[in-house]
Amino acid sequence: MPLTSTVDNDSTPTSSDVTIDQNSAPVLTWTITDTDGNPVVLTDKSITLIVYKDTLPTITTIFSLDTGSGGLHISSNAVSATLTTADTANAGLFRYELKNTTDHIPLAEGSFTIQTAP
């Protein structure tokens, strides 16, 4: 599933909403550019994807992936997340953040919906 995000000079990403099926194992790929349309090169950066339920005052992590564990892969300005059926086992409306943890820069964020399996 191709997604895009633009990071502005204040390190604020655009919102890219995700909708996937419960118990599926999709590959999600974000292409990251700056406001001028130039690729934001992420090679050699540590990236984390966190999907969470925001029920203030508690934030519950549904699942997370990072480049160190092999769940996220970088190719220049593209970040691919390989999800498993365990990652998508819980249906619901969640939030996510894709973040460059090396430089502490958010790359993408938005709603993350896991639709109930038919």
Q: Average pLDDT of the chain? A: 89
Note the pLDDT tens digit of each residue in 25-49. 999 999 998 888 889 999 999 999 9
| Top CATH class, 2-115 | mainly beta
- 6 pLDDT more than 80: no
pTM of the predicted protein model:
0.89
Note the pLDDT tens digit of each residue in 55-82. 888 899 999 999 988 899 999 999 999 9
Q: What is the DSSP letter of 84?
A: -
In the sheet that 58-66 helps form, which strands lie side by side, from edge to edge? 18-21, 105-115, 92-100, 47-55, 58-66
Residue with tokens 């997370």: 64
- 4 pLDDT more than 70: no
